[in-house]
């Protein structure tokens, strides 16, 4: 199946299932992307727009500190430097949950980490929802630039990366998530605490099933 153009929803068709005789070994897991013929490899960085999501100080220290955040920021720095060298559009997001919150952009805790801080000529959008398309002008900006391929990095994997990638797919964009440039934290589960590693793996696998191409690191995205 060919890739959808800008503004066109990517469609997927799942082949009908067949009844398997008992005793047969089940096949290796596959994804809806594979079954639907959607691309499995990312577009070149030169043909993409980099979206840096919520790389804020709140995730480095304090109650919202993430597991593996330092190494994720290292990867984000490398990705950002490549994007700048390539001269592609770069959009930074900053989440604001109001004064006194862990996402207060009026305070130091809500500022973007210095190592990945936007330059003067780079776009910064403030958002209030996990999905970066909700109540922002992101879709309008991307359409105006005829953008289609998006590269996503930032935090948190299970929340704003997940929501934005799904939102992008639903609007007809082709998102790629850089796994090593994302991170998350432990969460209380139904019967036990879900570890950061388990949540990270499950979140990325769920995205890779249909909504996004998930690559291990930025090096997997060709120039």
Which of 55, 104, 139, 160 is labelled catalytic?
A: 160
Choosing from 54, 55, 139, 180, which is the catalytic residue?
54
Buried b (16+ CB within 10 A) or exposed e, 125-156: eebeebbbbeebebbeebeeeebbbbbbbbbb
User: What is d(CA 221, CA 211) in angstroms, rounded to the nearest whole number?
Assistant: 17
Instruction: Give the dihedral sign, CA 114/118/124/129.
Output: negative
Q: Cα(185)–Cα(193) distance, rounded to whole angstroms? A: 11
Rg of the chain over all Cα atoms, to the nearest angstrom? 18
C-alpha to C-alpha distance for 104 and 98, rounded to whole angstroms: 5
Identified catalytic residue from 55, 127, 139, 180 = 127
Q: Is 127 a catalytic residue?
A: yes
Consecutive H or E run containing 32 = helix 32-36
Is 160 known to be catalytic?
Answer: yes
Question: What separation in angstroms does the CA of 210 have from each of 86, 143, 214?
Answer: 28, 22, 10
**Residues noted as catalytic:** 54, 127, 160
């Amino acid at each position: 199946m060919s890739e959808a153009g800008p503004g066109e929803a990517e469609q997927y068709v799942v082949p009908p299932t067949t009844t398997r005789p008992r005793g047969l070994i089940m096949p290796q897991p596959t994804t809806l992307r594979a079954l639907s013929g959607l691309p499995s490899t990312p577009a070149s960085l030169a043909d993409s727009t980099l979206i840096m999501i919520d790389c804020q100080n709140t995730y480095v220290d304090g109650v919202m500190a993430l597991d593996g955040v330092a190494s994720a920021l290292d990867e984000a720095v490398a990705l950002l430097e490549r994007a700048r060298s390539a001269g592609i559009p770069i959009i930074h997001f900053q989440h604001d949950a109001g004064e006194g919150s862990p996402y207060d952009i009026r305070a130091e805790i809500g500022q973007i980490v210095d190592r990945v801080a936007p330059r003067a000529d780079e776009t910064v959008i403030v958002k209030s929802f996990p999905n970066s398309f909700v109540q922002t002008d992101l879709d309008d900006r991307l359409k105006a630039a005829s953008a289609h391929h998006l590269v996503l990095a930032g935090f948190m994997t299970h929340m704003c990366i997940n929501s934005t990638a799904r939102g992008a797919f639903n609007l007809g964009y082709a998102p790629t998530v850089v796994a090593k440039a994302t991170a998350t934290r432990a969460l209380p589960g139904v019967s036990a605490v879900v570890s950061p590693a388990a949540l990270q793996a499950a979140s990325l696998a769920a995205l890779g099933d249909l909504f996004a191409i998930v690559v291990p690191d930025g090096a997997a995205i060709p120039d």
